């Protein structure tokens, strides 16, 4: 703890770098994955190619990618851009599939309705498809955000400044505290990002909130009285149906 | 199409048909034709129902009207214009479309859903919402529902919103694709009546797809029966369909009790009523003990039947449908057949007992009609 307080500015600086190096690839990855995922979804012919290439990308060992990228990009070996590009590649690898899944999760009837009302494809994508894809898409984003934050540490091995430095340095000096601080700060960043993403999703899906609120209400109504007794799982499993119909009737 | 030519002239005689199918066929790569050489004229301002078993091409035909499906052969004309020459999106916006399970956009409030097409046409958000609020009232929904999301409505309410949305841009044509098939029978009957009421005010050209022949005969001014393989089997007003199906397929499809159902279209206007022996709870004691006795409330509305020899209100047998004067022979016969006493209760428009109907009378009358 003393070490942590004494080195607070240093740790915070590393955390700042770390956050920047993992969030920027997330954003870039999303911007690239949405059009790629849209293509894969609309054109069955390119779908297989896009999806298999993106899965193969994820199997490239991260360290190898960090080392090879400067050769391909012509950047210096210590340039943080290498890390950002590498993490963007991993983000794309995971997100393209998420985008396809998210677009496929949309009820076909809703899409038919949008077509029948006279939406042209471009406008329909932004007005109907994308907003409705948000819940599934954000599930993917949350996974990638956590994965990016943990992968970014590997960058320390090629001399990039972020929380990974605490691991390499701690290991060299056989100083456990520094490593623990690194782990804790990585966790804190991951949690922080997850909170931000959950909040963002909440803001973007007011329509889903009502649905959730209703099912939550149902759960409270059913589990409330049951909590006092022993948890009869069969009984509680059956009850939401009845309560849900009650809520439905109420809204009739 | 001989059937089409043999039927009575359209409701708005003299005007050209709103939608025409000319030698339209649609086949998919898999082989079987979805629609086979369809020739059909849809009357302006009337409800035309496409009915048939699943896979008969009724929905495909409907979707060719707004180019959701393109025909393989033939032309579809709307208001005399070939639809394939019109931009698809603009064509679709010029028609209302109601889908099964409403197809509302789950991420838009009810008002914004209704406002969709006007917004696509460039109407300001404010204007479109004002219009949406009016439409909410037109389809019989409370303005308080406007701010809700579709998931917060019941199935019946969602369907009403679907209808309101289709009406928003005031299109001359409404396409309805099995709109009421996902709601329970009680709500469905309600929505059907509501649609007929709306149609009296709005006089749109409505093309309505259903697999339910009962719904088709209740709603349709004309019914097109499709057979498997996308063949139009018969195109006629519902009473003709029930009275004179052209072939075994149609006869089989319209069902076994079509004779009884066709009575729906026979008026019972001049059906003679028998005098009813009635009593209220107060006058019960003074009535003779023989025969069935009908008890009414003080306003004259029927409450139930007392069997012969029993003259206490507790012995009353309820049940049996009522026959409203001026309605169909089907209702009269049903009232007679379902009544515990064997005689149906006829009520006037205010629901007061007006007399009794006898099943024999109904049958005699049918007989007389056939001869004369």
Higher pLDDT, A132 or A210: A132
What mean pLDDT do residues B195-213 have? 93
Residues of chain A with CATH 1.10.3720.10: 2-204
- What's the CA gap between A161 and A177, in Å, rounded? 19
- Determine, for residues A118 and B93 on separate chains, whether the beta-carbon distance falls below 8 Å: yes
Superfamily for A2-204?
Answer: MetI-like (1.10.3720.10)
Q: Which of B265, B298, B313 is the last residue of a domain?
A: B265
Higher pLDDT, B3 or B42: B42
Write down the pLDDT at residue A132.
94
Same domain, B177 and B249: yes
At B152-181, the pLDDT tens digits run: 998 889 999 999 999 999 999 999 999 988
Same domain, B77 and B176: yes
Neighboring chain B residues of A116 at a CB cutoff of 8 Å: 66, 68, 92, 97, 99, 103, 175
Neighboring chain B residues of A251 at a CB cutoff of 8 Å: 152-154, 157
- Determine, for residues B93 and A131 on separate chains, whether the beta-carbon distance falls below 8 Å: no
Among the listed ranges A238-252, B304-318, B347-361, which one has the minimum average pLDDT value?
A: A238-252
Chain A residue closest to B118 (CA)? Answer: A117
Same domain, B322 and B207: no
Residue A119: which of B68, B102, B120 has the nearest Cβ?
B120
- Determine, for residues A117 and B151 on separate chains, whether the beta-carbon distance falls below 8 Å: no
Same domain, B308 and B204: no
pLDDT grade for B353, boundaries at 50, 70 and 90: confident
Q: Per the domain annotation, does B148 fall within a domain?
A: no
- Determine, for residues B149 and A210 on separate chains, whether the beta-carbon distance falls below 8 Å: yes
Write down the pLDDT at residue B219.
93
Residue B103: which of A109, A119, A210 has the nearest Cβ?
A109
Q: Would you say residue A240 has pLDDT above 70?
A: no
Same domain, B22 and B79: yes
- What's the CA gap between A127 and B120, in Å, rounded? 11
Distance from CA of B96 to the nearest CA of A (A): 7
Percent of chain A with pLDDT over 90: 52
- Determine, for residues A109 and B120 on separate chains, whether the beta-carbon distance falls below 8 Å: no
Higher pLDDT, A17 or A158: A17
Same domain, B17 and B73: yes
Residue A117: which of B102, B117, B152 has the nearest Cβ?
B117
Same domain, B57 and B191: yes
- Determine, for residues A110 and B104 on separate chains, whether the beta-carbon distance falls below 8 Å: yes
Q: Would you say residue B354 has pLDDT above 90?
A: no
Q: Which of B265, B287, B307 is the last residue of a domain?
A: B265
DSSP B217-228: HHH-SEEEEEET
Residue A118: which of B103, B120, B153 has the nearest Cβ?
B120
Q: Per the domain annotation, does B7 fall within a domain?
A: yes
pLDDT grade for A251, boundaries at 50, 70 and 90: very low
Write down the pLDDT at residue A247.
35
Same domain, B195 and B59: yes
pLDDT grade for A215, boundaries at 50, 70 and 90: low
Among the listed ranges A175-184, B163-172, B228-237, B328-337, which one has the minimum average pLDDT value?
A: B328-337
Chain B residue closest to A214 (CA)? Answer: B152
Write down the pLDDT at residue B88.
93
Please answer whether residues A58 and A93 qualify as being in contact, where contact means their C-beta atoms are separated by less than 8 angstroms: yes
B288: domain range? Answer: 278-371
Q: Per the domain annotation, does B79 fall within a domain?
A: yes
pLDDT grade for B102, boundaries at 50, 70 and 90: low
pLDDT grade for B343, boundaries at 50, 70 and 90: confident
Q: Per the domain annotation, does B189 fall within a domain?
A: yes
The model's pTM: 0.73
Write down the pLDDT at residue A104.
93
pLDDT grade for A245, boundaries at 50, 70 and 90: very low
The vertex-B344 CA angle with B339 and B348, nearest 5°, equals: 135
Distance from CA of B129 to the nearest CA of A (A): 17
Q: Per the domain annotation, does B198 fall within a domain?
A: yes
Q: What is the largest CA-CA distance in chain B?
A: 80
Q: Per the domain annotation, does B310 fall within a domain?
A: yes
In the three-class reduction of DSSP (H, G, I as helix; E, B as strand; rest coil), residue B293 is classed as: strand
Write down the pLDDT at residue A201.
94
Question: pLDDT averaged over chain A?
Answer: 82
Same domain, B179 and B250: yes
- Determine, for residues A113 and B156 on separate chains, whether the beta-carbon distance falls below 8 Å: no
Same domain, B224 and B349: no
Query: Residues of B numbered 213-252 whose beta carbons fall under 8 angstroms of chain A's beta carbons: which are they?
Result: none
Distance from CA of B323 to the nearest CA of A (A): 30
Number of structural domains (chain B) is: 2
pLDDT grade for B108, boundaries at 50, 70 and 90: very high
Residues of A with CB under 8 A from a CB of B: 107, 109-110, 112-120, 123, 128, 131-132, 205-208, 210-211, 214, 248, 251-252
CATH of the domain at B353: 3.10.580.10
Q: Per the domain annotation, does B216 fall within a domain?
A: yes
Q: Per the domain annotation, does B144 fall within a domain?
A: no
- Determine, for residues A207 and B106 on separate chains, whether the beta-carbon distance falls below 8 Å: yes
Residue A252: which of B68, B117, B154 has the nearest Cβ?
B154
Q: Which residue in A102, A107, A108, A113 has the most chain B C-beta atoms within 10 A of its own C-beta, making it the best mutation to test that interface?
A: A113
Q: Would you say residue B264 has pLDDT above 90?
A: no
Distance from CA of B174 to the nearest CA of A (A): 11
Q: Which of B216, B233, B265 is the last residue of a domain?
A: B265
Same domain, B334 and B309: yes
Same domain, B34 and B60: yes
Q: Token pair for residue B314?
A: 């507790």
CATH of the domain at B246: 3.40.50.300
């Amino acid at each position: 703890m003393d070490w942590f307080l004494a080195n607070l500015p240093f740790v915070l600086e590393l955390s700042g770098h770390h956050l920047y190096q993992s969030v920027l690839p997330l954003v870039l990855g999303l911007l690239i994955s949405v059009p790629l995922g849209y293509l894969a979804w609309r054109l069955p012919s390119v779908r297989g190619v896009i999806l298999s290439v993106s899965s193969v990308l994820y199997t490239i060992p991260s360290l190898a990618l960090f080392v090879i990228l400067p050769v391909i990009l012509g950047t210096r070996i210590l340039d943080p851009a290498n890390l950002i590009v590498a993490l963007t590649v991993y983000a794309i690898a995971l997100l393209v599939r998420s985008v396809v899944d998210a677009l496929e999760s949309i009820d076909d009837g809703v899409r038919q309705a949008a077509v029948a009302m006279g939406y042209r494809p471009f406008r329909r994508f932004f007005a109907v498809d994308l907003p409705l894809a948000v819940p599934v898409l954000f599930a993917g984003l949350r996974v990638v955000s956590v994965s990016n934050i943990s992968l970014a540490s590997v960058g320390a091995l090629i001399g990039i400044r972020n929380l990974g430095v605490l691991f390499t340095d701690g290991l060299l000096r056989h100083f456990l505290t520094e490593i623990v601080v690194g782990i804790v700060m990585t966790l804190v960043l991951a949690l922080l990002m997850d909170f931000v993403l959950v909040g963002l999703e909440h803001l973007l899906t007011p329509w889903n909130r009502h649905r959730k609120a209703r099912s939550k209400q149902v759960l409270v109504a059913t589990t409330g009285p049951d909590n006092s007794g022993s948890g009869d799982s069969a009984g509680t499993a059956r009850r939401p149906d009845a309560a849900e119909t009650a809520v439905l009737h109420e809204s009739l | 199409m001989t059937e089409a030519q043999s039927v009575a002239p359209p409701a708005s005689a003299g005007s050209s048909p709103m939608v025409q199918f000319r030698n339209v066929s649609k086949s998919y790569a898999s082989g079987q034709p979805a629609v086979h050489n369809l020739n059909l004229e849809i009357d302006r301002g009337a409800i035309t129902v496409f009915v048939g078993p699943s896979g008969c091409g009724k929905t495909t035909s409907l979707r060719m009207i707004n180019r959701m499906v393109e025909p393989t052969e033939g032309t579809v004309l709307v208001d005399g214009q070939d639809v394939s020459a019109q931009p698809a999106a603009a064509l679709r916006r010029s028609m209302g479309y109601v889908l099964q399970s409403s197809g509302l956009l789950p991420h838009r409030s009810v008002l914004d859903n209704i406002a969709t097409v006007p917004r696509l046409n460039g109407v300001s958000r404010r204007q479109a919402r004002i219009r949406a609020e009016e439409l909410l009232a037109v389809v019989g929904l409370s303005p308080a529902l406007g701010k809700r999301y579709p998931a917060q409505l019941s199935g019946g309410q969602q369907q009403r919103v679907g209808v309101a949305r289709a009406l928003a841009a005031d299109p001359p044509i409404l396409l309805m694709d099995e709109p009421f098939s996902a709601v329970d029978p009680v709500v469905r009957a309600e929505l059907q009546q509501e649609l007929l009421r709306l149609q009296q005010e709005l006089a749109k050209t409505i093309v309505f797809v259903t697999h339910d022949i009962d719904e088709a005969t209740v709603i349709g001014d004309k019914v097109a029966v499709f057979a498997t393989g996308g063949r139009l089997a018969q195109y006629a007003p519902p009473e003709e369909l029930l009275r004179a199906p052209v072939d075994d397929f149609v006869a089989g499809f319209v069902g076994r009790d079509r004779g009884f159902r066709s009575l729906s279209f026979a008026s019972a206007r001049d059906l003679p009523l028998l005098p009813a022996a009635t009593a209220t709870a107060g006058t019960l004691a003074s009535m003779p003990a023989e025969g069935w006795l009908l008890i009414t409330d003080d306003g004259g509305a029927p409450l139930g039947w007392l069997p012969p020899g029993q003259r206490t209100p507790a012995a009353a047998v309820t049940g049996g449908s009522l026959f409203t004067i001026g309605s169909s022979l089907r209702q009269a016969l049903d009232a007679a057949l379902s009544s515990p006493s064997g005689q149906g209760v006829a009520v006037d428009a205010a629901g007061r007992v007006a007399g009794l109907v006898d099943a024999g009378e109904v049958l005699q009358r049918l007989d007389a009609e056939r001869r004369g």
